[in-house]
Copies of this chain bind each other. A is one copy, B any other.
Amino acid sequence: MNRRRTIQRDLVLAAVQKSCTHPTADEIFAAVVSEHPSISKATVYRNLNLLVEAGLVRRVPLPGTWPDHFDRTLGDHYHVYCECCGRVSDVDIPYQADLAEQIAESDGFDVHRHEIVFHGICPDCKKKTMREKSCKGENENGTERNED
């Protein structure tokens, strides 16, 4: 159970903390491998899980999109997902603590936490869309799981 400190773990943590873009595991791997070429992708996934478990990093799972993103900001807050480029940003609205209480009353659920994910178009993509006709298909991250 005792954790050992490793260069790999330090690098993964540093990569998340350095980034303000809510990187995916793959993007973190890309960042770390440039400094430490021998690192394996499995090690990145393993350490991200450990760091999330230790509370040093936050996982940002988005409904309907893959893969998960990671966040250096630990406090309660929400996210916006750009449907055009896949970028994830923090949202600057207060935490809606009262919502959970309403449910406990009405449905008998013990609510531990909640997530709000907003979907829209980021300022950059809005600009692009004005010039070109549409930004559909030029999703740089590539893989959206489904589009409803």
> A119 contacts the other chain (Cβ, under 8 Å)?
yes
Q: Are the CB atoms of B110 and A68 closer together than 8 Å? A: no
Partner of A80, one of B91, B107, B120: B107
Q: CB-CB contacts of A91-105 with B at 8 A, as 1s and 0s?
A: 111001001101110
Q: From DSSP, what is the main secondary structure of chain A's interface residues?
A: mixed
> A121 contacts the other chain (Cβ, under 8 Å)?
yes
Q: Are the CB atoms of A109 and B120 closer together than 8 Å? A: yes
Q: Which residues of B contact A38 (CB under 8 A)?
A: none
Closest to A63 in B: B61
Copies in the complex: 2
With A61-B146, A63-B63, A148-B52: A126-B110 Cβ-Cβ less than 8 Å: yes
With A53-B148, A59-B148: A111-B117 Cβ-Cβ less than 8 Å: no
Q: Are the CB atoms of A83 and B112 closer together than 8 Å? A: yes
Instruction: Report A46-75 residues with CB < 8 Å from chain B CB.
Output: 49, 52-53, 58-59, 61-65, 68
Tell me, in angstroms, the Cα distance from A110 to B82 when the chains sit together. 9
Q: Which residues of B contact A91 (CB under 8 A)?
A: 103, 106-107
CB distance from A89 to the nearest CB of B (A): 7
> A10 contacts the other chain (Cβ, under 8 Å)?
no
Partner of A109, one of B68, B89, B146: B89
